[in-house]
Amino acid sequence: MAESCHYHSTVSASWQCQPCRRTYCGECIPGSSANYQGLGPECPLCRKPAEYIGASNGAKPFWQMGLFYFLYALKPGPLIVIALAAGASLLISGLGILALIALIAIIALVTRYNLLVIERLASGQLEAPEFTDALDGNSALLFLKVIGMSLIAVFGGYKLMGFGIGAVQVYAFVLSLLAPAAMIVLALEHSLRAAINPLKLLQFTLIIGWPYWLLWLTTTAASAAPSFLVGVTASKLPPWAIGPVIAACTAYFYTVTSAMMGYICLSRQQKLGIVAEPDENDTYMEEEQFNRARALAEAQILVRESDFKSARQALVDGLRRYPNDEALNERYYRLLLATQDKKALQELGPHLLGKFVHINRPHKAAELYLATKPIPPIKKPELRHALAEVLYQQHKYSLAAQLLNNLHKENYPQLDAAYLLLAQVYIEGMNREDLARKLLQFVRQRFPESPIRSQIDTLWKVLNNAEATS
């Protein structure tokens, strides 16, 4: 079962910090290693390097991925391996020195490729490697190590022949049981000594647990599949095609079993000590986007840890860079609300609310304004007007009137619009047509060339008609 983020319980964790015993999702630790100057993400609490667990934590159980293994072997890289194996089988007919050398080289490449499949899947890379990735110069050495493993196994069986056929049979069973573990260890560590170390292999099987038995059964069955298929189809094939078919089937199921072995390591990545790397292409952020996301994430985590001082500092640092960022300003304001910092709310509240109006988010400004107790004093006429307009739309007429009253004492260029709004407040929300009439009369005299004169006159006529019919 996937482990959840410590701070977002519905999201799978992508990172962990062992010293802090905390797990984090991609929202808590945004970006990629490149965003952290190539050093990799760090724990927001202790600032030590965080460990990536996203690939293994999000992986489905080994036994639920049956179709994946068989389709994996049909990707472009494995298909080249299959074609190469089929073509190599034709070299057997020649059996010249050059043909033999070429055949061994191809087998070495196929072996290297499948060890690479195990290695890549174990690290969380679900896409099959390109065939050219196997051309890294390790093919001959790893193939020799595979041969060395086989020779050592045969030598052990030879030594046990003196103890009777029963001992040899037990030995053969143990070899078949530990064979997947040996191939995995060789793929991950590139060490012959580790791959033939019984204690190392036993430790590996214990770490994997009971799914290792399932791995053994499935890889054994998949390894036997080529013989079964060829036995069924051999009589229907021309003689020249039997070799390529055998080789192609063997290569295909070799890749299938390698995919099984690699994926089961993915499911136990941390316990096996496998270091995985996230997909940098998916997680990289542009600098501005990353800095904002990081400030928000760290502030949220620090608040959850009740470290309000550090959370506030993280937001302040972010706001110094991006003073008009909506999310940073809102998080900062809500932090002041959560900590009940009344002094800061009274002093900074109007300034922060003004930012929301400046970025055309007056409804957010009104929401935060209403959440502030006591309500902060608003002096700037443009902010009072913007807040009052939203409050009027929300039918909070008294508060809107308080903000708009006495605006004529300020040198506010949009006083005509503000007082038209106040007149509407008086009429619709307070039943004070008398006050509305006085306001409209004032505006008509003060602003004869107002751009909203038609609206003012319309409301004036409505008031007169209402008075005439009453």
What pLDDT, in 10s, does the model give residues 25-65?
A: 989 999 887 888 767 788 999 989 888 887 777 778 888 88
Are the CB atoms for 419 and 432 separated by under 8 Å? no
Region 240-249: what's the mean pLDDT? Answer: 78
- Domain tally, the chain: 4
Query: For strand 51-52 and strand 15-17, is the pairing parallel, antiparallel, or unpaired?
Result: antiparallel
Which long-range contacts link 402-408 to residues 24+ away (Cβ below 8 Å)? 403/378, 407/381, 408/442, 408/446
Tokens 């015993």 -> residue: 21
- Do 367 and 383 share a domain, yes or no? no
Q: Within a domain: residue 353?
A: yes
- Over residues 6-33, the pLDDT tens digits come to 999 888 888 889 899 999 998 999 988 7
**Of the residues 272, 302, 323, the one at which a domain ends:** 272
**Of the residues 307, 342, 377, the one at which a domain ends:** 377
Sign of the CA dihedral with 83 first, then 88, 91, and 92 last: negative
- Do 219 and 170 share a domain, yes or no? yes
Rounded Cα distance, 45 and 15, in Å = 13
The per-residue pLDDT for 104 is 77
- Do 128 and 254 share a domain, yes or no? yes
Entry field: residues in the chain: 470
pLDDT bracket for residue 468 (50, 70, 90): low
The per-residue pLDDT for 98 is 67
| Percentage of the chain modeled with pLDDT above 90 | 36
Q: CATH code at 314?
A: 1.25.40
pLDDT bracket for residue 367 (50, 70, 90): very high
- Do 93 and 185 share a domain, yes or no? yes
Closest C-alpha to 370, from 344, 351, 388, 355? 388
- Do 174 and 147 share a domain, yes or no? yes
Paired tokens of 272: 């096996």
Paired tokens of 349: 């509240």
Tokens 């260890």 -> residue: 185
- Do 91 and 226 share a domain, yes or no? yes
Paired tokens of 175: 């070899």
Q: Is the pLDDT of residue 247 over 90?
A: no
Rounded Cα distance, 5 and 11, in Å = 6
Helix, strand, or coil (residue 52): strand
H or E element: which one contains 70? helix 66-72
If you ran DSSP here, which 8-state letter would residue 300 be given?
A: H
User: Residue 312: which residues within 8 A CB-CB, separation 6 or more?
Assistant: 299, 332, 335
User: Residue 356: which residues within 8 A CB-CB, separation 6 or more?
Assistant: 326, 329, 330, 362, 364, 365, 368
Question: Which residue would you say has higher pLDDT here, 231 or 219?
Answer: 219
Q: Within a domain: residue 278?
A: no
Rounded Cα distance, 1 and 21, in Å = 18
The per-residue pLDDT for 93 is 58
Rounded Cα distance, 411 and 433, in Å = 26
Rounded Cα distance, 8 and 26, in Å = 10
Tokens 């890889």 -> residue: 219
- Do 254 and 106 share a domain, yes or no? yes
- Do 187 and 323 share a domain, yes or no? no
Terminal Cα-to-Cα distance of the chain (whole angstroms): 74
Of 180-189, 240-249, 297-306, 423-432, which gets the smallest average pLDDT? 240-249
pLDDT bracket for residue 295 (50, 70, 90): very high
Cα-to-chain-centroid distance, residue 136: 31
> Which residue segment(s) compose the domain that 142 sits in?
62-272
Rounded Cα distance, 399 and 470, in Å = 29
